[in-house]
Amino acid sequence: MEGIGSAPGETAPRLELRHVGKSFPGVRANDDVSFAVAPGEIHALLGENGAGKSTLMKIVYGVQRADEGAILWEGRSVDITSPKAARKLGIGMVFQHFSLFDALTVYENIAVGMDDPMPRRALEARIEEVLSTYGLPLDITREVHTLSVGERQRIEIVRCLMQQPRLLIMDEPTSVLTPQEVEKLFTTLRQLSAEGVSILYISHKLHEIKALCHSATILRGGRVVGTCDPRVETAKSMAEMMIGGELRTAERRGKAAGGEERLIVEGLSVPGTPPFGIELKAVSFTVHAGEVFGIAGVAGNGQNELTRALAGEVVAPRAEMIRLARRPIGHQGPGERRRAGLCVVPEERNGHAAVPEFTLAENTMLTARYRRPLTRGGFMRLAATRAFAEDVIRRFDVRTTGPEALARSLSGGNLQKFIVGREMLQTPDVLVVSQPTWGVDAGAASAIHQALLDLAANGAAIVVISQDLDELLALASRLVVMNDGRLSQALDVAGVSVKDIGLLMGGVHGGDAPVHPHEVTHAV
């Protein structure tokens, strides 16, 4: 099979942006942006949340139109009017959030996503050729709901490769992968690069940028503020280019963990929600006052079900299965649990943690009214609600026009900062937070980490559910791994390796042999 991006004798940049600008009401998303990507180059696009990266990629992929500037494709000015037009040029994009049908097979998902599908036998042969050529193990007859997140991402990549792209855009591609799956992905991307395919790579994981990318363009406030060679930079130096100042590392303050048992979960078993929900199977753990307790795992192994069960959205079969300071709360709903001192940040921002069409002030009222005086006699106290929203915006550096801004107007990272801040400023006794820094830039992630550590230092018990192992190792003193609705034994973070945790996260998924907690070796 010939390299799908090869073009002998090609000298012009594969993609060049010249003075591109894009504005939305009240926001200048991109301002005079210019950069180029050469054939075979892996080019990173770096920037804080709200720096304009996603808008720029949507312009390149034809989802949005630029207000001014020019896009050149292999030296020729082009007008990319739609994603289909982008794909026709040779531009493919793998989005952070997959667009797959769980009830369909791998083959059916690939066929549905093709602009010009071929006859079934020819298409199956072509898919198998791509899988073999790029080392992407995948059973095309399996239904998507049975696959790991890494395998689902391979479907998205194969869909792009079937269109023979000359430029591949990757948006936060490793945010839900195990370390082993990341290595497999990088092997594929390096092979594509060697064959002449250009890759635009967006990620907040700067150590991955350093390991993978040949060059980087840094955006701040919608403008290009610099370029660099990630291979000769450090993660810290790139982060400081992004934020335009010194990056502060989160530090533990105050007393170490070891207080009273604040959250006790014992034998929690909850059926999965049909059709593809994961059943929780005898989940047990204890979190002490002042402790950050980590739960690792590949997405889709019961983390969302556990979050809902802890929040009270799903009531436990018996009240004593969940205890707050030894008081049974498993029978209570979300409002009662919040009043008792348990606050929750769910994984999904828009639609679960926040209502997109509500203002930020209105979104604070949704959860904070149980612990802050934001209502009276069933009516909102508008001044108090606005003041609380302003406090969250100020203390968590949320980039927005103010408390009256709609939640949907914020970038994903800024909305995440607002939601985390809304829960933390309620001073909970127990905080359960799922994916606290998913899609958040290095500076904001450091600030959120520090806020979590400070909250723990003040006596709160914190449960962090995350697919980011670096995050868990930086925050938690103990962690467990969730796989197929079960928890591993608790591991001491001081003596466990990323490789060991990654194997536990893989479990029976991804074609690897099952790994059980007692098989993991780590220093103690």
Please, which pLDDT band fits residue 145 given cuts at 50, 70 and 90?
Answer: confident
> Is pLDDT above 70 for 139?
yes
* Three-class DSSP labels, 395-445: HCCCCCCCCCCEHHHCCHHHHHHHHHHHHHCCCCCEEEEECCCCCCCHHHH
- Of 69-73, 443-447, 451-455, 496-500, which range is least confident? 496-500
> Is pLDDT above 60 for 512?
no
Closest C-alpha among 410, 451, 446 to residue 427: 451
Q: Which residue has the tokens 């793998």?
A: 94
> Is pLDDT above 60 for 337?
yes
pLDDT in tens, 100-117: 998 999 999 999 988 887
Please, which pLDDT band fits residue 508 given cuts at 50, 70 and 90?
Answer: very low
> What string of DSSP letters covers 486-523?
EE---EEGGG--HHHHHHHHHTT-TTPPP--GGG----
The total of other beta-carbon atoms located within 10 Å of residue 221's CB is: 16
Q: What are phi and psi of 312, to 5 degrees?
A: 95, 5
Contact 411, 50 (CB under 8 A): yes
State what percent of residues in the chain have pLDDT above 70.
93
> Is pLDDT above 90 for 118?
no
Domains of the chain: 15-243 (3.40.50.300), 249-341+430-524 (3.40.50.300), 348-427 (no CATH)
Please, which pLDDT band fits residue 176 given cuts at 50, 70 and 90?
Answer: low
- Of 177-181, 245-249, 259-263, 465-469, which range is least confident? 177-181
> Is pLDDT above 60 for 141?
yes
Quote the mean pLDDT of the chain.
88
Structure tokens given for 385: 């609600």
Q: Give the pLDDT confidence score for residue 257 in this predicted structure.
A: 55
Please, which pLDDT band fits residue 468 given cuts at 50, 70 and 90?
Answer: confident
Q: Give the pLDDT confidence score for residue 339 in this predicted structure.
A: 95
Q: Give the pLDDT confidence score for residue 517 in this predicted structure.
A: 33
Contact 155, 136 (CB under 8 A): no
* Kind and range of the H or E run holding 109: helix 106-112
Q: What is the mean pLDDT of residues 169-182?
A: 79
Rg (CA), the chain: 24
**How are beta strands 167-171 and 91-94 bridged, if at all?**
parallel
- More confident position, 385 or 113: 385
- More confident position, 378 or 315: 315
Structure tokens given for 93: 């994009």
Q: What is the mean pLDDT of residues 241-256?
A: 73
Contact 239, 226 (CB under 8 A): no
Q: Give the pLDDT confidence score for residue 520 in this predicted structure.
A: 32
**Cα-based distances in Å from 310 to 170, 265, 322:** 34, 9, 8
Q: Give the pLDDT confidence score for residue 514 in this predicted structure.
A: 35
Q: Give the pLDDT confidence score for residue 383 in this predicted structure.
A: 95
Structure tokens given for 17: 């942006």
